[in-house]
Amino acid sequence: MLADMHTHSFFSPDADRGADIEKMSLRAAELGLGILTVTDHCDLNFRFSESEYAYPDYLLCDRDMFGSLGYALKSIETVTALKERYPVLRCGIELGQLVQAPDTAADLASDPRLDFVIGSLHMNHGKTDFYWIEYNKMDSSKLTALLDAYFEEQLEVCRTADFDVLGHLTYPLRYIVGKYGIPVELTRWEGIIEDIFRALIGRGKGIEINTSGLRQEYGRTFPDLGLVRLYRQLGGEILTLGSDAHRIEDIGSGLQAGAELAKQAGFDYMTVFTGRKPEFVKL
């Protein structure tokens, strides 16, 4: 059985407008997936006005409201209502920048309707999304400083925040390596990555193999085989697989390859979550 533990519906403002949760569920069933977890965005560092807490009209969605709380809550409400009709569905959320708004993060993560919480970092504190940065205009010391800050904030997330798995570790490489073709050697960050893994393991949390990189220029998973193996060697057990699909066609994409990679890294099981409790499924 394969489980896609990381997908986005149209309640994520960067997702395809056609990514309707019912259609996503039907697609998952067609693919034979055992579980489809919808994990819409809520990027916590954005400041929310009162009106953003209201039910948003996704059809007229304002793209500047990326990852707003209103959308996230609507996603949770919709998935929860559909779970009975589509048993494949699980209700998740992808919380971005947890330590940049720790109280809101803790509040959201404690929502009893959630089956699964991904903790992600899409932008360093006070900076723009890694997506928007022009890495070709940065010299190597600036790039190093950016990655220093990235891994340091990830470590703080892993030591303090409430979530189940760390989302797409090494995400900036999607752009630095994949889009801009700038090679990055991770040796400098091996120590802090070990600290990240030890913090996760110590707190009963895990990582995901995010397969989105396999269908993008980067061509590898986030994180890649070397780091998944390191996580395993340090005693890591909780490992989910997620396509990070933002459109229906990408649901389940790369999961088979992700499962093979997990086996190569020394895993016999992958993890799924229901009611925020891990369950181990043979690979």
Interface positions with Zn ion (CB under 5 A): 94, 120, 244
For residue 214, what are its two tokens?
A: 């396999």
Kindly state the smallest distance separating residue 12's Cβ from Zn ion, in Å.
7
What's at 264, amino acid-wise?
Q
DSSP state of 155: H
Kindly state the smallest distance separating residue 40's Cβ from Zn ion, in Å.
8
Cβ pair 116, 141 in contact under 8 A? no
Kindly state the smallest distance separating residue 81's Cβ from Zn ion, in Å.
22
Cβ pair 121, 96 in contact under 8 A? yes
Alpha-carbon gap, residue 247 to 69, rounded angstroms: 21
Q: What is the dihedral of CA 217, 223, 229, 235, to 10 degrees?
A: -170
Kindly state the smallest distance separating residue 268's Cβ from Zn ion, in Å.
26
Residue nearer to Zn ion on the CB measure, 94 or 115: 94
Compute the 3-state secondary structure of the chain and give helix, strand, coil in percent, each to the nearest 5: 45, 20, 40
Cβ pair 241, 4 in contact under 8 A? yes
Kindly state the smallest distance separating residue 243's Cβ from Zn ion, in Å.
9
Kindly state the smallest distance separating residue 51's Cβ from Zn ion, in Å.
25
Provide the greatest CA pair distance for the chain: 53
For residue 180, what are its two tokens?
A: 């801009």
DSSP state of 55: P
Query: Which residue from 203, 204, 207 is spatially nearest to 165, judged by alpha carbons?
Result: 207
What's at 179, amino acid-wise?
K
Kindly state the smallest distance separating residue 185's Cβ from Zn ion, in Å.
24
Kindly state the smallest distance separating residue 13's Cβ from Zn ion, in Å.
12
What's at 193, amino acid-wise?
I
Residue nearer to Zn ion on the CB measure, 121 or 234: 121
Strand, coil or helix: 20: coil
Run of H or E residues at 102: helix 102-109
